[in-house]
């Protein structure tokens, strides 16, 4: 994975200076929670909170190793608001409109906010990942805890999962498993090479009716959740054969430069500052361009559906069955889901 993620980190061109955090060296630019929330209100970014105590040796080790990794720290500094929170701190802290103070008296007291956010599981270090604040509910859609020491290999998929909104269509357990298969499974490349991807120009240049529906994968080389999706969801044993039988596969990198005709209209990539991608990707995603995205086309190249964000193998299996078997012509997606995933009382 390092060779993929590091490439993303380097392209940011962002290297922070070392700073002291509780006595241990860290390259991450840590903030107070209140400052992170103010910054989030102005410019939303995922928040990562490191819960620690002064006596926690593994907390210090994580600062001196994981958070001292130059590329990883640069990635966090560029894309996250990073907070160090003393779980036994003595300050009153405001979070989402409520104030929290230390609980009890004495030197080893637990902070009320730490108890709340850690769900009373006071293990250190614990890392909390937050993203997508729902203002109506006054809570974050992503609220993911990771207890214990996290090395680079463990925290990488968590950062990608949080930053690239993979949580919208997948739980972390599924994403983490797919992440490992995508970048560490030696059999993945062999399976990938058996797929027959068409370029946008190859697929859309055909004027007559196609014999199959199409799955148009929209992703870039610098989007890590895109890589995980492309390298797992299309080759999973549960659906690979069915996908090959029912669909053409179109690999559409939105940075594609060739002009493409679609439905009698010419689309190009003018690389405009407000949208530096191919205009057809905006059309196919119904002006809801997200990386990655999956677009389902029927045999006449009509848009049947556009699904934004990362799709795991299980979700891909459901999508391909729903459209590949023409179930969508008879049932709604909700009815289909209830039929294959009945709710247990």
216, part of any domain = yes
Same domain, 116 and 209: no
Q: Give the number of residues written for the chain.
A: 345
> Residues 327-337: what's their mean pLDDT?
96
35, part of any domain = yes
Same domain, 11 and 159: yes
pLDDT bracket for residue 335 (50, 70, 90): very high
Same domain, 11 and 150: yes
40, part of any domain = yes
- What is residue 2's predicted lDDT score, i.e. its pLDDT? 45
Q: pTM of the entire structure? A: 0.88
174, part of any domain = no
Instruction: Tell me how far the alpha carbon of residue 39 is from its chain's centroid.
Output: 21
pLDDT tens digit sequence for 19-69: 333 445 799 999 999 999 999 999 999 999 999 999 999 999 999 999 999
176, part of any domain = no
Same domain, 150 and 223: no
Residue 134 belongs to domain spanning: 2-163
Same domain, 11 and 78: yes
- What is residue 19's predicted lDDT score, i.e. its pLDDT? 37
Point out the domain boundary residue: 129, 163, 197. 163
pLDDT tens digit sequence for 93-143: 999 999 999 997 656 789 999 999 999 999 999 999 999 999 999 999 999
Angle at the Cα of 17 from the Cα atoms of 12 and 22, rounded to 5 degrees: 125
CATH number at residue 231: 3.40.30.10
Same domain, 135 and 11: yes
Same domain, 224 and 322: yes
pLDDT tens digit sequence for 180-203: 999 999 999 999 988 999 999 999
Point out the domain boundary residue: 130, 163, 196. 163
pLDDT tens digit sequence for 246-265: 999 999 999 999 999 999 99
- What is residue 248's predicted lDDT score, i.e. its pLDDT? 98
- What is residue 105's predicted lDDT score, i.e. its pLDDT? 61
178, part of any domain = no
Total domains in the chain come to: 2
Q: What is the mean pLDDT of the chain?
A: 91
Same domain, 153 and 247: no
């Amino acid at each position: 994975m390092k060779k993929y993620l590091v490439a993303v980190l380097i392209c940011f061109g962002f290297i922070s200076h070392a700073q002291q955090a509780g006595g241990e060296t860290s390259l991450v630019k840590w903030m107070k929670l209140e400052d992170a929330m103010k910054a989030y209100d102005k410019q939303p970014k995922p928040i990562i909170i490191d819960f620690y105590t002064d006596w926690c040796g593994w907390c210090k080790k994580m600062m001196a190793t994981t958070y001292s990794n130059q590329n990883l720290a640069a990635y966090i500094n560029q894309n996250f608001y990073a907070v160090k929170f003393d779980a036994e701190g003595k300050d009153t802290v405001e979070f989402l409109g409520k104030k929290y103070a230390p609980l009890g008296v004495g030197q080893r007291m637990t902070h009320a906010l730490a108890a709340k956010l850690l769900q009373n599981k006071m293990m250190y270090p614990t890392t909390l990942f937050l993203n997508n604040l729902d203002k109506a509910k006054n809570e974050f859609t992503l609220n993911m805890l990771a207890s214990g020491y996290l090395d680079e290999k463990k925290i990488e998929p968590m950062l990608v999962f949080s930053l690239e909104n993979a949580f919208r269509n997948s739980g972390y357990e599924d994403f983490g498993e797919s992440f490992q298969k995508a970048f560490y499974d030696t059999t993945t490349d062999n399976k990938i090479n058996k797929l027959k991807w068409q370029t946008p120009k190859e697929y859309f240049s055909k004027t007559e009716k196609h014999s199959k529906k199409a799955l148009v994968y929209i992703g870039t080389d610098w989007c890590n959740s895109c890589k995980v999706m492309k390298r797992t969801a299309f080759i999973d044993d549960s659906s690979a054969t069915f996908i090959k039988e029912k669909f053409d596969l179109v690999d559409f990198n939105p940075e594609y430069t060739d002009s493409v005709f679609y439905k009698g209209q010419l689309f190009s990539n003018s690389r405009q500052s407000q949208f530096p991608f191919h205009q057809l990707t905006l059309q196919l995603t119904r002006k809801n361009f997200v990386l990655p995205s999956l677009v389902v086309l029927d045999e006449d190249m009509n848009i049947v559906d556009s699904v934004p964000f990362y799709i795991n193998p299980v979700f891909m299996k459901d999508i391909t069955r729903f459209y590949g078997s023409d179930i969508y012509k008879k049932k709604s997606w909700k009815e289909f889901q209830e039929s294959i995933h009945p709710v247990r009382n």
